[in-house]
A and B are shown apart, each in its own frame.
With several copies, the nearest count.
Chain A
C-alpha cells in the first residue's frame, strides 16, 4: 500500500492562494456580521465570483460532464480557506454535497452545476449524518409533497434536490426553488443560514433512482470536506489569537508572554496540526477512492468538529472582553464552529460508526451494530 500524501501539492497551494486572495479582496468580517441583521447582499456576488470566475462550482464534476475533474483534495483546500474566512457561500452544500448526489446521473442539472449557473441544495436537515437513512418526501405523478426542516444552502439554491421515497427505494427529484416555500430561519451560524422547506405538489424532475448510495456518498464527502473547513476555522482562531496576544499588553508586558496562555496556545497548535493531518488524510483517501475512506472521514469529522469548537472557544476567552463584542470577528468563528459540530453528524455519531468499522463495538455481545 502506497502511503497517501498528506501535504499540499503545488496545485493545491496555488488554488489556496487564489481563493484566499479573492476572499481577502471581496469579503470583510463586517459583511458577515451584517448577515446576522438580515443583510445577505454579500452572498450572491461573492459566490458568483468563486463559482464562475474561479470555476469552483464545477471543481468536483468530471471533465466529461463539463466540470474541472478535480478531486476531494482540491475541494478540501478550498473548504479550508472558506473556513478561515467564515465565508458565507454555498460551496459545501452545492459544489460538494448536492453535486456528488447527482454526478453521473446524466441529468441536465449536472451540466448547469458544472457551469456555475445553477446552485443546488440537497434537501436534508443539515444535522443528518451519512450513516443512517435520510428523511424522504413523497412523489406522485412528477410532483413532490412534504417538508424538510433546517436545510443548509437552500437560501442560496436555485434548485432543491429532494430525496423521495419510491417503491423500489430512494430517488432524487430536482425542484426549482420557485415551486417551493423556502422559509429562512434564524440560525446559530448566519454565515450558513438554514431554511425550512415546504413542497405542496411541487413539479419536480426525477434526477435518479436507486439513489441511496449517491446520497450517502454526498453526505460522507460533505462530512470530510467540512472537516477541512473546520481546520480552516481553527487555524484562523489560533493565528488570530497569537497575533492579538503578541500585541496586547497588560501589566506592562505582552499578554502573550504569560506562560499559562502560552501553554494553552501551544496545546491548541498541537491539536490544529493533528486536525490538519486527519482532514488531509480524509481528503486524500476520498480522492484516491481508498478503501479506508469511510474510516478516514469518521476520524476527521469527529476530531475536527471538536477542534474547531475548542479553538474558537479558546480564541474568545483569550481575547477577553473584546471577544464578546459584536464588532470583533471572533464570534463569527465561534458560531460557525459550534454549528458545524452539529452538522453532517455529531462527533459521537462518527465515533459510533468508527467503532463498527474498526471492530471496537460497545456491546458485550458480538451481534454486530454498536448501538
Chain B
C-alpha cells in the first residue's frame, strides 16, 4: 500500500469534483477563487477551514497544475507576493481565530493585496532597530514613523507592520507586530526611485495611524519573534522545479556572445567561460539543494544560493556591457515607471547591470548572509554585540 499515492489520488479526485461543480470558464472569477479556498484547494498544507486540507506542501504543485490545465483563473500570485508568501504563514502561526476568519480568504483570493512595513531608513541590515513608534490609546494603537523599500504599497489594502511599543527595553524586546490598514488617512505612500530610473518600491510615512488592538499579531513585545517567522519564510523560498542550463543572466550573455562574433576577444572569452562554469556550478548546487530538501535534509544553505545568484548576476551583467561595447554605452529608457514586477530580460543590458546591484542588498545583504553562513552553517563564533542589553532609547543613533 502506497499511502502517498493514495493521498495524491484522492486529492486529484477532489479537484475533479470541484472543477465539475464550478465551471472555471463561466464562474465569476472572485466567486471561483472563494469557492476553491472554501474547498481547501487554496494551499493544501493549511488546515481544513483555512483554505487547506492539512496535507504535505509538495502536493500543492499538482493541484495548481490541474487548475491551470483547466483554464481556471489564478489568484495573481505575483501581485501579492508578500501576502501569500509572508503574511499568510505568519497569520497562520500567530493569528487569532478572528484574525484568520477576517484576513485569510481575501488574502488568498487577491481581493486584498498586502505589503510589508518592516524596513526603515535608519535600520538597514539591523532589522530590529525599528524606530517607528506605536503608542497605546485605549483599544487602539497610534503609530508614527517612516518605512522604506515597500513594494506594492500603492496597491496594497493591508500591511504587516513592525513597530516599537517600548523604547525602554533592549532593541529586540520592545517590538510589536500589527496588521495595518493601508487606507488609513495617516498613511502616505511616495514612490522611491531607484538607480535604474524605475520605482519598484515606496517610502511609507505613518502619521497618527490608528490600529485596533484586535489587529495585533502575537503578544506586545513579541514582535521580533513574529517578524522572524515572516523573514524565515522569505529565505526558505528556493523555488520549485528544475532549472535548465543557461537560464537567466548566463543565457542572456551566452546568446549575446553567439550573436556577436565581431565583438569576441580572448580576455572576454576567458571571463565568459569562467562565469559560464560558475553559473552551471550554482545551478547544480541548486539542484542538489532541491534534492536534499525533497528527502528532508534541509539547512540554511539557501543563504549560499542567494550569495551565488547575486554575485553571478552582477558579474555577468557587467560582462554583458563589456561584450557589447558601443551598444553598452546606450541605455534603453530613463523614464520613471512604477512596475509591479522586475523585468530583467525585457529591459536592456544597462538596466540589467544596474538592477542586479540590488540582488546583493534586498532581502538580506550579502554581508549579512555571509555572517549567517559563517555562524549558522560553519559554527564560527558571533561578533561581539554591544547592543544586546542596552535599552533602545540609549543606543547611539
Contact = CB atoms under 8 A, between A and B. Distances in A.
Partners in one complex: yes
Interface of A: 3, 5-7, 36-37, 125-127, 149-150, 185-190, 194, 242, 245-246, 248-254, 256-263, 265-267, 269-270, 273-278, 280-281, 299, 302-303, 309, 313, 316-317, 320-327, 331, 334-335, 338-339, 341-343, 346-349, 351-352, 354-355, 358-366, 371
B370 A260 contact: yes
B149 interface: yes
Contacts of A7: 288, 291-292, 295, 297
A366 B379 CA distance: 51
Given A320-B361, A321-B149, A342 B321 contact: yes
Contact of A245 (B360, B377, B380, B390): B380
A235 to B, nearest CB: 12
B148 A360 contact: no
Interface of B is mostly: helix
26 contacts: A3-B287, A6-B288, A37-B336, A149-B326, A185-B330, A252-B385, A253-B384, A254-B381, A257-B380, A257-B382, A266-B369, A266-B371, A269-B377, A274-B278, A280-B284, A317-B366, A321-B149, A324-B358, A325-B194, A331-B195, A341-B322, A347-B267, A351-B273, A352-B265, A352-B273, A362-B264
B328 interface: yes
Interface residues of B, number: 95
B195 to A, nearest CB: 4
Interface string B162-192: 0000000001000000000000000000001
B269 interface: yes
Nearest to B264: A364
A317 B356 CA distance: 11
Contact of A358 (B262, B276, B314, B385): B276
Contacts of B262: 364
B346 interface: no
* Among all A-B residue pairs, the 5 with the closest Cβ atoms: A252-B387, A348-B267, A326-B193, A262-B374, A331-B195
Interface string B255-286: 00110011011111110111011101110110
Given A256-B381, A321-B124, A348 B370 contact: no
B334 A257 contact: no
Nearest to B241: A3
B381 A251 contact: no
Nearest to B366: A317
A310 to B, nearest CB: 10
A36 B334 contact: yes
B321 to A, nearest CB: 6
Contact of A263 (B326, B353, B370): B370
A252 B380 CA distance: 16
Interface stretch (B4-12, B63-71, B136-144, B300-308): B300-308
